[in-house]
Amino acid sequence: MRPRMTQSGLAPTHPVQALDETGAMRTVRIAGESPLTLKVDGHEVVTLMTLGTHPEALALGYLRNQRLVEDLATIAAVEVDWEHETVQVRTHKGEGIAHWQEKLRHRTVTTGCAQGTVFSCTLDKLYDQRLPQVPVYQSSIYALLHTVGRRNEIYREAGAVHGCALCRMDGTEAQILYFVEDVGRHNAADAIAGLMWLEGLEGGDKIFYTTGRLTSEIVMKTANMGIPTLLSRSGITHMGLQLAQDLGVTLIARAKGHHFLVYNGAEHVIFDAVPGLRRAESRG
Amino acid sequence: MRPRMTQSGLAPTHPVQALDETGAMRTVRIAGESPLTLKVDGHEVVTLMTLGTHPEALALGYLRNQRLVEDLATIAAVEVDWEHETVQVRTHKGEGIAHWQEKLRHRTVTTGCAQGTVFSCTLDKLYDQRLPQVPVYQSSIYALLHTVGRRNEIYREAGAVHGCALCRMDGTEAQILYFVEDVGRHNAADAIAGLMWLEGLEGGDKIFYTTGRLTSEIVMKTANMGIPTLLSRSGITHMGLQLAQDLGVTLIARAKGHHFLVYNGAEHVIFDAVPGLRRAESRG
């Protein structure tokens, strides 16, 4: 049963005046950024800075990815109130917070944008699960990159946001199920985790795409969503790689046009669309 | 008097093997990412995920930008121990932590990379100070952009990092004093704040440059360093703009090549190098 929820997404961009390099005034659009304090049964958990387009899914996905709530069925309601900059999550039992006090004491502020916080318990649980071993077709990577390039509407309009996409793999095809942009890339990832929860979607046959860097935190979140493959337009960090190796996440980064690098899980990648020699030479 | 300090900077990049899109194995370099737990007089403040090249300056700059320490002279020692992933800051009195307990309870996790945390007291103090009103020459912006483009060595080698620069303005000239890269752009900003403190540098005649987005947090940190002008290669958020207006920070973003947009403080920008019509037309 889905929780009772508000539908309080904000408009993502605002028009403002700016002077360009010729001294001319122009009207341009910039990304929103609003504080949103997450409370569970009245107890404050965290304040997130967000674009605000998916605040209910963001709250749920945050609780899911931080492993603060293990089961959606325990949640009765999610209520966003922008006037007070809060999202209230209410559990059926109304006592969901008791065991968190200890968790909340041990935060790690990470390289993540927007909610760079990981509760130390999260990682331990991730090591207990195994991700499925799934083949990734090069042709589906290219299909996905081609499609996501047309979905980053807020970025093209206002910049200052990262985009994340959840994609279903079907052989050589890739279908984008969700594309979320936020001023913090981790908000976008958490909002997708929340949407997956609400729709009851499993991660095993999915690819998670992000425009952002693959740091330890985004690898953790992907594994937590049960998604075995992570694809990024940007680079990776050493700790992101180590975690991907430990958790069994296939890591493909620096993916633009026909280029990409497989940093982990190369045995799962099927090179069915190798570009011609001309392209390979132009890499330099 | 400067505190006693270790000099424990890490090498920023690591070589790893990756498969490219042709299926060929290549050796590439990726950015480091290490946890570093900051303790003051034995009390844990935060764990940062960092590239680790300037850990001592990062620790000091973090304490400075969060307004947890107001005066460098109160600090006796900064000791980094990578084996235990800690940086120990010791105050002369050894009691510097007492008033922090309340602060540590009210963290906001922000859109910041790497240490997206702001203690709520920080902002109140910022409103009490006034930044100097300083002219910014268009020609010095171009000089700066030209120079920083050659300083982002780690990004060009490994990606996955943001760069920040502290620049001294001298009429139409711009001199880069520090250029720091980190997996979190806020780490880079804090490391520069630490270096400024150690060298006794004021912010009034400086420009702060970042490759990252101008969100509320980076505007706050710039104001906190006493720097009146913020320049970014990326875009801005609505809250970043509002804070810049409130605090009097000149905000110049989307600065690449000859293009830029002045979002706040346009009255301080002197258009002494307006590009020709040809360029203006090509903006589209």
Q: Which of A184, A217, A236 sits opposite B111 (nearest CB)?
A: A184
Q: Which of A21, A22, A47 sits opposite B109 (nearest CB)?
A: A47
Q: Which of A33, A108, A217 sits opposite B215 (nearest CB)?
A: A33
Locate CATH 3.40.140.10 in chain B: 136-282
> Searching chain A, which residue's CA lies closest to the CA of residue B264?
A18
pLDDT for position B128: 78
Q: Predicted confidence band at B282 (pLDDT cuts at 50, 70, 90)? A: very low
Q: Does residue A130 or residue B85 have the better pLDDT?
A: B85
What is the complex's ipTM, to 2 decimals?
0.85
Check A19 against B261: CB less than 8 A apart: yes
pLDDT for position A44: 87
Chains A and B form CB pairs within 8 A to the count of 217
A24-38, A91-105, B208-222: lowest mean pLDDT where? A91-105
Q: Which of A116, A260, A271 sits opposite B116 (nearest CB)?
A: A116
> Which chain A residues contact residue B111 at CB under 8 A?
33, 49-50, 113-114, 183-184
Question: What residues contact residue B249 under an 8 Å CB cut-off, 6+ apart?
Answer: B131, B219, B222, B223, B227, B228, B229, B230, B243, B264, B265
Can you give the pTM of this predicted structure?
0.88
pLDDT for position B266: 96
> Searching chain B, which residue's CA lies closest to the CA of residue A114?
B111
Q: Which CATH superfamily is domain A136-282 in?
A: Cytidine Deaminase, domain 2 (3.40.140.10)
Tell me, what amino acid is at A263?
Y
pLDDT for position A118: 52
Q: Does residue A182 or residue A121 have the better pLDDT?
A: A182
pLDDT for position A68: 87
How far, in Å, CA of B75 to CA of B94, rounded? 9
Residue A46 pLDDT > 50, yes or no? yes
> Which chain B residues contact residue A28 at CB under 8 A?
261
> Which chain B residues contact residue A31 at CB under 8 A?
235-238
Q: Predicted confidence band at A116 (pLDDT cuts at 50, 70, 90)? A: very low
Q: Predicted confidence band at B121 (pLDDT cuts at 50, 70, 90)? A: low
Q: Predicted confidence band at A149 (pLDDT cuts at 50, 70, 90)? A: confident
Q: Predicted confidence band at A59 (pLDDT cuts at 50, 70, 90)? A: very high
> From the candidates A10, A14, A17, A21, which should be mutated to test the interface with B, based on the most B CB atoms within 10 A?
A21
Q: Predicted confidence band at B120 (pLDDT cuts at 50, 70, 90)? A: low
Segment A136-154 mean pLDDT: 91
Residue B117 pLDDT > 90, yes or no? no
Check A109 against B46: CB less than 8 A apart: yes
Distances from the Cα of B270 to the Cαs of A23, A118, B2, B250, in angstroms? 9, 45, 38, 12
Segment A264-284 mean pLDDT: 75
Residue A250 pLDDT > 90, yes or no? yes
| CA nearest to B274, candidates B139, B116, B75 | B139
Q: Predicted confidence band at A97 (pLDDT cuts at 50, 70, 90)? A: low
Residue B143 pLDDT > 80, yes or no? yes
Longest Cα pair distance anywhere in chain B, in angstroms? 63
Q: Predicted confidence band at A103 (pLDDT cuts at 50, 70, 90)? A: low
Average pLDDT, chain A: 87
> Searching chain A, which residue's CA lies closest to the CA of residue B32?
A238
Q: Does residue B281 or residue B101 have the better pLDDT?
A: B101
Q: Predicted confidence band at A100 (pLDDT cuts at 50, 70, 90)? A: low
Check A159 against B213: CB less than 8 A apart: yes
Q: Predicted confidence band at B118 (pLDDT cuts at 50, 70, 90)? A: low
How far, in Å, CA of B216 to CA of B194, rounded? 20
Q: Predicted confidence band at A207 (pLDDT cuts at 50, 70, 90)? A: very high
Residue B199 pLDDT > 50, yes or no? yes
CA distance B68 to chain A (A): 16
pLDDT for position A106: 52
Check A237 against B31: CB less than 8 A apart: yes
Residue A1 pLDDT > 70, yes or no? yes
> Which chain B residues contact residue A266 at CB under 8 A?
19
> Searching chain A, which residue's CA lies closest to the CA of residue B142?
A21
Q: Which of B217, B235, B258 sits opposite A158 (nearest CB)?
A: B235
Check B261 against A28: CB less than 8 A apart: yes
Check A110 against B275: CB less than 8 A apart: no
Residue A158 pLDDT > 90, yes or no? no
Q: Which of B49, B108, B262 sits opposite A19 (nearest CB)?
A: B262
Segment A180-203 mean pLDDT: 94
Contact B122, B110 (CB under 8 A): no
Q: Does residue B265 or residue B152 have the better pLDDT?
A: B265
CA distance B200 to chain A (A): 28
> Which ranges constitute the DSSP H helices of B87-224?
100-105, 121-127, 138-148, 153-158, 185-199, 216-224
CA distance A232 to chain B (A): 11
Segment B222-235 mean pLDDT: 96
Q: Does residue A194 or residue A171 have the better pLDDT?
A: A194
B238: left (phi over 0), alpha (psi -120 to 50) or beta: alpha
Check A46 against B112: CB less than 8 A apart: no
Q: Which of B20, B234, B269 sits opposite A261 (nearest CB)?
A: B20
| CA nearest to A164, candidates A117, A231, A229 | A231
CA distance B1 to chain A (A): 30
Q: Predicted confidence band at A70 (pLDDT cuts at 50, 70, 90)? A: confident
pLDDT in tens, B4-27: 999 999 999 999 999 999 999 999
> Which chain A residues contact residue B258 at CB under 8 A?
21
Q: Does residue A25 or residue A112 have the better pLDDT?
A: A25
Check B235 against A22: CB less than 8 A apart: no
> Which chain A residues contact residue B262 at CB under 8 A?
18-20
> Which chain A residues contact residue B122 at CB under 8 A?
none
Check A21 against B275: CB less than 8 A apart: yes
Check A238 against B16: CB less than 8 A apart: yes
How far, in Å, CA of A218 to CA of B107, rounded? 21
> Searching chain A, which residue's CA lies closest to the CA of residue B138?
A21
CA distance A204 to chain B (A): 23
> Searching chain A, which residue's CA lies closest to the CA of residue B217?
A49
> Searching chain A, which residue's CA lies closest to the CA of residue B212?
A160
Question: What residues contact residue B146 under an 8 Å CB cut-off, 6+ apart?
Answer: none
The most confident of the ranges A143-152, A171-180, B177-186, B248-257 is B248-257
Contact A223, A247 (CB under 8 A): yes
DSSP B268: G
Check B113 against A112: CB less than 8 A apart: yes
Residue B100 pLDDT > 50, yes or no? yes
How far, in Å, CA of A5 to CA of A89, rounded? 9
